[in-house]
Structures are given as structure tokens and as C-alpha cells.
Amino acid sequence: MAAWIKILERAYKRQLRRIRRNVAVWQIPFRPGGRRWKSSLSYPALESLQKGALQYRYRGMPMLKNPIEVALYYELFWLARPRTVIEIGSYLGTSALWFSDILKTFDIEGQVVSIDIDIPSPSWQRENVRFLKGDAHALSDVLTEAMLASLPRPLLVIEDSTHRPETTVAVLEFFHPHLRSGEFIVVEDALVTDLGVAHHFGGGPGLGISQFLSRHAGDYDIASSFCDRYGRNVTGNPNGYLRRR
């Protein structure tokens, strides 16, 4: 009897995940160019990748990066050659160090500006990395017009903060008038939709991307060369690589 109960519990959990995943996708109202929001990977594969990402470390420090992004960011940096990387959401600061190392690897004289409500205190220091205290919903308080005008271009913006749609929209709308043609803004972790946990994040970043693009579809391309490199939306950031037209 106990074995049958466990089988039924597993079946119930699978069905619940499937329902939550389908509901989250259904709630995303806008599909630019007819693009789907689901990843072509199966749920077990996605779950396995996510577990690995939550354990990923760089230079011995937690960084929580999806392995697909570890590959894609190198190519993105090589293509975009950003001189200023603006990261919204610092966590422990490890990804800022990684971005700095990528710039150095490709001989790009660039800087990293990482913004969070809670500024990390990493054990390392880099001359080209700055941590600034700021709220993703009030970026103008820290990224003033004068400061933005002084930043070396091109910009690469990475939104990796609360993973809630309203935050994603706030960040995208803030940078929209400032991005130049060809510059990228990457929205991290829309994979929460496929993982069936978007309801924990108010709908997730995918919903925020959709809401933003429904108003600015003609201004951005979803860079399929990144989103679909390993299969349709086989990335931690489905439809999250946006390039300004």
C-alpha cells in the first residue's frame, strides 16, 4: 500500500507541475513573431540543469549560473564587446567578477557596474568592478542621466534581480530610452515558467518580457541565435536575449 501511495504522490506532483507550467505559459499574452515561450527540453532535463545551476561555483564562490548561459555569455561578450556591463541584482558579487574576467579574456577595456539593494562584500577587489546600492524599481536614483551619459559604450545590461514581472518591466522600461542600436539587454531566469514555479514570482520574467515587448515590439529583436543555440529556448533565459534595433 505504501508503495502505491508513493507512486500516486509522484504522479500527482508531475500533473501539478504540468498544470502550473501550462497556466504560466497561457498567462503570457504576447508572442512576438509567433515565438513560443516553452523550452524544447523535457521537465526532467530542465530540473536537472536547474539543480546543477544552484550548485555552480566560480573561483570557489557560488554563482548560480545555468550551464547554457556559461557558454552563451562568452559568445555574447565577444559579439557585443561591451565597454560597460550593468548588472541589476548582485547576489554575492560572483557574477560581476566573472564578467570582469570575460572582459579581460577578450582584451576589452570595460567596466562592470552591479546594482542591488544589498551590496555584497566579496573577498576580492577589481578596479573595473563597482557595486552600487539601488532599487531595480528606482534605477534613476543611482543611474542618473549624467552618469549614464558618462559610461563607455556599448552597454550590456543584465536584469537578474527579483524575477518578478513588474521588476522586469521596470528595468526594461528604464533602459529603453537609453539603449542604442545593437546593444543588448538580457533578462535572466524566465525558465521559472518551464519549471512550473512562475507562480512563486508573480508570473515570472517571461510575463514581464511579454508585457514590455507588447508595447515596444518594433524596437527589439529576440536574439534567436542565443535563445535557440542548443534547441528552441534551451537556455535559462527563454526569449530573454533582447537586442535593440
> What local confidence, expressed as pLDDT, does residue 37 receive?
82
CATH number at 105 reads 3.40.50.150
Each residue's pLDDT tens digit, 51-79: 999 999 999 999 999 999 999 999 999 99
What's the pLDDT band for 12 if we cut at 50, 70, 90?
Answer: very low
pLDDT value at 11 more than 70: no
Is pLDDT larger for residue 193 or for residue 81? 81
Contact 187, 148 (CB under 8 A): no
Domain count, the chain: 1
Judged by average pLDDT, the poorest of 25-29, 90-94, 114-118, 134-138 is: 25-29
Q: Over the chain, what HEC string results?
A: CHHHHHHHHHHHHHHHHHHHHHHHHHHCCCCHHHCCCCCCCCHHHHHHHHHHHHHCEECCEECCCCHHHHHHHHHHHHHHCCCEEEEECCCCCHHHHHHHHHHHHCCCCCEEEEEECCCCCCCCCCCCEEEEECCHHHHHHCCCHHHHHHCCCCEEEEECCCCCHHHHHHHHHHHCCCCCCCCEEEECCHHHCCCCCHHHHCCHHHHHHHHHHHHHHHHEEECHHHHCECECCCCCCCCCEEEEC
> What local confidence, expressed as pLDDT, does residue 43 receive?
87
> What local confidence, expressed as pLDDT, does residue 4 receive?
46
> What local confidence, expressed as pLDDT, does residue 142 receive?
97
Beta bridge pairs of residue 222:
242
Each residue's pLDDT tens digit, 131-142: 999 999 999 999
Each residue's pLDDT tens digit, 188-203: 999 999 998 888 999 9
> What local confidence, expressed as pLDDT, does residue 217 receive?
86
Average the pLDDT over 150-178 and give the result.
Answer: 98
Domain that holds residue 195: 2-244
